[in-house]
Amino acid sequence: MRGDRAFRLVVTAAGIVVLMILAAITIFLIVEAVPALRADRANFLTERHWSPDENPPRFGIAALALGTLMTSVLALLIALPVSVGTALFLTQYAPRRVSVPLGYLVDLLAAVPSVVYGLWGLIVLVPHLIPLSAFLADHLGFIPVFASNQTYGRSVFAASLVLSVMVLPIIAAISREVFLTTPVEQVEAAYALGATRWEMIRTAVLPHGRPGLVSAAVLGLGRALGETIAVALVLSANFDISVHILTPGGNTIAANIANAFGDAGTIGRGALIASGLVLFAFTLVVNLLARAVIVRHRNTLGAPR
């Protein structure tokens, strides 16, 4: 069977190409980042500012990494209740005839490209957010998170809001699938004991779906961490580290790459590649984490995707 062996060789080679691409991403990013890191006169992990093309070059990941985590976690906090609620409503409340087309619509949110979200966020959302931000700062300003002495739309809050819209369909789609695998016996047992629909959800659907929800949230976080263009358009960047989400503050690794790449010199581009390497490591850890959760609960979740 010479043909069989050759065919098997060809498709196995395709599989190996995939492994090689991931290895190549790691290797070439490191190779191009090292010269810039060597030239850095500041500590890459603790320095806040980003001036790699000055003499001497000084740049660090501290403000960028914190800004990335802050916008992503905030986006996740906004998106999680909405998307899980959406998934519960579509699987447990809406009749099938309605839930299928509504499910398509929610999935459609994932099809809109990030640059269109960025354009909408910058031109439409940001001006409309100024009154809301002012209201929050006036009435809840005693809480440090909302403290702000200026009314400014292109804030961390605005960026997180746009990010949350982009994360929402991912979490909603995965949780919908998870909720659909709830064993019918458990649902019927809850009803037989006299539970209302909400009590059934709390005792049967949610406990069964918890590991799936965790991995859905983690995958959503991964998406938010790497999102570039929408943040680059909406957030007015600086290199402060602050918890005031209503002020323009912070920047994210991905958005900084998009904004600074055009004007960067040799060391500047190497420095951006180094920051990209950090982002790559972040998302790698997050995705492996989500996968580990799914694999550990494979028996209870039915067929994993």
Partner 1 sequence: MITRGRRLPRWTPYAVAGGSLAVAEVTEKTTVVSGRSGVVLVAVATYLVASTAISAGVEGRRRCIDRLAGTLLGAALLMALIPLVLVLGYTVAQGMHRFDATFLLHSMRNVAEQQPGGGAYQAILGTIEQVGIAAALAVPIGLGVAVYLAEYGHAARLGRAVGLVVDVMTGLPSIVAGLFIYAFWILLLGFSFSGFAGSLALAVLMLPTVVRSTEEIIRLVPHGLREASLALGVPVWRTILKVVLPTALTGIVTGVMLGIARVIGETAPLLLTVFGNPSINADPFSGAQSGLPLFIFNEAQQPYPAAIDRAWAAALALVLIILGLNVAARLLARVASTVNRR
Which residues 166-205 are close enough to bind partner 1 by CB under 8 A?
168-169, 172, 194-199, 201
Closer CB to partner 1, residue 208 or residue 244?
Answer: 208
Closer CB to partner 1, residue 137 or residue 233?
Answer: 233
Give min distance, CB of 10 to partner 1, in A. 7
Nearest to 153, CA basis, from 119, 114, 125, 118: 125
Nearest to 49, CA basis, from 247, 257, 230, 251: 251
Region 203-232 residues binding partner 1, contact defined as CB under 8 A: 219, 222-223, 225-229, 232
Q: Is the dihedral of CA 157, 162, 166, 172 positive or negative?
A: positive
Angle 33-166-276 (CA atoms, 0-180°, nearest 5)? 0
Region 118-137 residues binding partner 1, contact defined as CB under 8 A: 118-120, 122-124
261 binds partner 1 (CB under 8 A): yes
Chain position carrying tokens 């931000």? 133
- Count of residues engaged in binding partner 1, rule: CB under 8 A: 95
Exposure b/e, 177-209, CB count within 10 A at least 16 = b: bbbeebeeeebeebeeeebeeeebbebbbeebb
Give min distance, CB of 144 to partner 1, in A. 26
Nearest to 173, CA basis, from 90, 287, 74: 90
Region 91-120 residues binding partner 1, contact defined as CB under 8 A: 92-94, 102, 104-106, 108-109, 111-120
Closer CB to partner 1, residue 99 or residue 243?
Answer: 99
Closer CB to partner 1, residue 104 or residue 142?
Answer: 104
Give min distance, CB of 225 to partner 1, in A. 7
Give min distance, CB of 158 to partner 1, in A. 13
Nearest to 156, CA basis, from 66, 80, 47: 66
Cβ proximity of 207 and 179 under 8 Å: no
Nearest to 286, CA basis, from 220, 189, 228: 220
Region 263-292 residues binding partner 1, contact defined as CB under 8 A: 269, 272-273, 276, 279-280, 283-284, 286-288, 290-291
